[in-house]
């Protein structure tokens, strides 16, 4: 079952521009997280947003959560070549499946061109 789904699948931007990635999910959740993966390596946690939060910031990252639309967005401001990576959202399985399950979306591949 696919809970989180990101769009776009791939994004290419110039260094200094902002990058926005979106994640949609199907059932009510407790929390949503965003992770980053450099090519073929383990994922690294970026930010967690709880279901009662609407927006969260961490450095150049801004995450929003709209529980009515079951969607979240990740904004990276002033992108750098080092931000080139794949970005994934992760949610719990929700009440229907299990809050202990973790479901990742297919990811957005971001390329930042110097």
Partner 1 sequence: EAQVTQNPRYLITVTGKKLTVTCSQNMNHEYMSWYRQDPGLGLRQIYYSMNVEVTDKGDVPEGYKVSRKEKRNFPLILESPSPNQTSLYFCASSLRPLYNEQFFGPGTRLTVL
- The dihedral built from the CA positions of residue 2, 7, 25 and 47, taken in this order, carries a sign that is positive
Considering only residues 40 to 79 of the shown chain, the ones binding partner 1 according to CB under 8 A are 40-45, 48
Per CB under 8 A, does 95 bind partner 1? Answer: no
Pick the closer one to partner 1 by CB: 104 or 112.
Answer: 104
Pick the closer one to partner 1 by CB: 9 or 18.
Answer: 9
How far are the Cα atoms of 34, 37, 66, 68, 104 from residue 43, in angstroms, in the given order? 10, 5, 24, 28, 11
Instruction: Please select the residue that binds partner 1; options are 80, 96, 101, 113, rule is CB under 8 A.
Output: 101
Residue labelled with tokens 């927006």 = 55
Pick the closer one to partner 1 by CB: 26 or 106.
Answer: 106
Per CB under 8 A, does 31 bind partner 1? Answer: yes
- Cα-to-chain-centroid distance, residue 54: 14
CA distance 22 to 63: 10
Q: Which residues form the interface with partner 1 (CB under 8 A)?
A: 1, 29-33, 35, 40-45, 48, 88, 90-92, 98-107
């Amino acid at each position: 079952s696919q809970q989180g789904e990101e769009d776009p699948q791939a994004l290419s931007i110039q260094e200094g521009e902002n990058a926005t990635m979106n994640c949609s999910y199907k059932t009510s959740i407790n929390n949503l997280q965003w992770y980053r993966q450099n090519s073929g390596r383990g994922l690294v946690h970026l930010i967690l947003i709880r279901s009662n939060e609407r927006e969260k910031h961490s450095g150049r990252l801004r995450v929003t959560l709209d529980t009515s639309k079951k969607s979240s967005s990740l904004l990276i401001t002033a992108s750098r070549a080092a931000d080139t990576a794949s970005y994934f959202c992760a949610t719990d399985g929700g009440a229907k499946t299990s809050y202990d399950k973790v479901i990742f979306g297919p990811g957005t591949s971001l390329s930042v061109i110097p």
